[in-house]
């Protein structure tokens, strides 16, 4: 059983705040501002760069690469393949968000090709997206999951075994599959589902934690714990989804060791 102290979340937050790792995001139009602000609030240094012509130079200064297929187009897909190749050569973590996998054939095929070519360090998605990656015919409702996170555990285990990637399934309980332990993080708040881009934000935070935590499964668990706890702290003050966004950034910025100790919830 994983104990609270095993996650070393506070040490990782301190490392991010002290080091300010550059997290290179090739992400979607909807979430660029949200994810950049979340990374800044946490202490990381975000860059949003999509031009294929600068991929090599941009990856050269990054400590992690985050790929997000939310608003696909051909030049961005080209940039993702180029950036992933450069990141693999440099040995920095590659985090993939298969947004909407299963929604359309083009989207599903593109992300499967990307996974096959890049072998991401970490894949974070909702249950439907993870199941679609595994090829079991799962469908998404737009970019929202039609399945509970626990329903994707078998698919996650199969993906981990075939790719070697850590698989993070987000939901009411977040599951991280990637080693002898399966982490189960039970933090968060239902209001978070009413704010667009928070799933993509979780992926961006995975990039920040992977930049300072060599074990990618542990990094994913740290990121999802911080994500959920920040959501809870924000919901305590918010009157609705609009103010939740504001308080969420403040919670990332102000999070303390005491907040983690009081709120961290791990399922057996």
181-193 pLDDT, tens digit per residue, is 799 999 999 999 9
Structure tokens at 36: 């950049």
* Residue 20 DSSP class: -
Least confident of 20-24, 149-153, 253-257: 149-153
Inform me whether the pLDDT recorded for 47 exceeds 80: yes
In this prediction, residues 23-32 reach a mean pLDDT of: 96
Inform me whether the pLDDT recorded for 143 exceeds 60: no
Q: Specify the higher pLDDT residue, 99 or 143.
A: 99
Inform me whether the pLDDT recorded for 111 exceeds 70: yes
Domains of the chain are 4-263 (3.40.1190.20)
In this prediction, residues 64-87 reach a mean pLDDT of: 95
Q: Please calculate the CA angle 12-238-256 and round it to the nearest 5 degrees.
A: 25
- 10 Å CB burial of residue 3 (0-12, 13-18, 19+) is exposed
Average model confidence (pLDDT) across the chain? 93
Give, for 72, the enclosing helix (H) or strand (E).
none
pLDDT (tens digit per residue) in 244-266: 999 999 999 999 999 999 999 99
Closest CA to 230 of 201, 268, 196: 201
Report the alpha-carbon distance of residue 212 to residue 17 in Å, rounded: 10
Structure tokens at 42: 């946490």
Structure tokens at 133: 């990656």
How many helices (H) and strands (E) are present in the chain, helices listed first? 11, 8
* CA 16 from centre of chain: 16
The answer to whether the CB of 132 falls within 8 A of the CB of 141 is no
């Amino acid at each position: 059983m994983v104990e609270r102290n095993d996650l070393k979340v506070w040490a990782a937050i301190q490392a991010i705040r002290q080091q300010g790792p550059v997290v290179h995001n090739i992400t979607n139009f909807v979430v660029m501002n949200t994810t950049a602000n979340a990374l800044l609030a946490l202490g990381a240094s975000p860059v949003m760069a999509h031009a294929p012509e600068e991929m090599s130079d941009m990856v050269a200064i990054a400590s992690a690469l985050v790929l997000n297929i939310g608003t696909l187009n051909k030049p961005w897909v080209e940039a993702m393949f180029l950036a992933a190749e450069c990141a693999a050569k440099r040995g920095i973590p590659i985090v993939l968000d298969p947004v909407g996998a299963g929604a359309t054939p083009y989207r599903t095929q593109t992300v499967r090709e990307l996974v096959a070519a890049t072998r991401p360090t970490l894949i974070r998605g909702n249950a439907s997206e993870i199941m679609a990656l595994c090829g079991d015919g799962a469908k998404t409702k737009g970019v929202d999951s039609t399945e509970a996170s626990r329903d994707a555990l078998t698919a996650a285990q199969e993906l981990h075994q075939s790719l070697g990637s850590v698989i993070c399934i987000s939901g009411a309980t977040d599951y991280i599959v990637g080693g002898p332990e399966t982490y189960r993080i039970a933090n968060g708040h239902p209001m978070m589902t009413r704010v667009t881009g928070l799933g993509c934000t979780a992926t961006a935070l995975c990039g920040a934690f992977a930049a300072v935590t060599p074990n990618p499964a542990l990094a994913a668990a740290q990121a999802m714990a911080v994500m959920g706890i920040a959501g809870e702290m924000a919901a305590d003050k918010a009157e609705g989804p609009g103010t939740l966004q504001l308080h969420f950034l403040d919670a990332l910025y102000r999070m303390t060791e005491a907040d983690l100790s009081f709120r961290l919830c791990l399922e057996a």
